[in-house]
Amino acid sequence: MFDKVNLDEAFARFDESWKPRIVGELDGSYVKVVKFKGEFVWHRHALEDELFLVVRGGFTLRLRDRDISLRAGELVIVPRNVEHMPVADEEAHILLIERTSTVNTGDAQGPRTVDPAWI
């Protein structure tokens, strides 16, 4: 059985930043929602690409050679093995599409590493 996902309701169900929540699964990938605020960690994913879609607010995706600024309605796909760090001055609501095996901190295991929970 499947049903629609209301993104506003999904984001309203949690307050923590940098802790993704799963709202669906698609062909071996999770569709996740996450709130960004502050700086994350520099990391890379050796085997997975990541899609970041800004639903509300905005953030900067720092790369080693440049920054990409994104606002609501924009997305970026980070190719595998590209080192990156998301930064959000104000709270931003982000939708991610990642393989089910993707660890949120990639190769930078540490206190921000979490297993995403379904909501």
Residue entry with tokens 């169900």: 13
CATH numbers and ranges of domains, the chain: 7-118 (2.60.120.10)
**One-letter amino acid identity for 40?**
F
Please report, for residues 9, 11, 45, 61, 102, the alpha-carbon distance to residue 14 in angstroms, rounded to integers and kept in the order given. Answer: 10, 6, 26, 23, 21
Q: What was the pLDDT predicted at 112? A: 87
Q: What was the pLDDT predicted at 109? A: 85
DSSP conformation class of 79:
P
Q: What was the pLDDT predicted at 91? A: 98
Q: Give the residue ranges of the chain where pLDDT is below 50.
A: none
**DSSP string computed for 34-69:** EEEEEE---B--SS--EEEEEEESEEEEEESS-EEE
Q: What is the pLDDT of residues 2-19, one digit of tens each?
A: 899 999 999 999 999 999
Comparing CA positions, the residue from 107, 119, 39, 45 lying closest to residue 77 is: 45
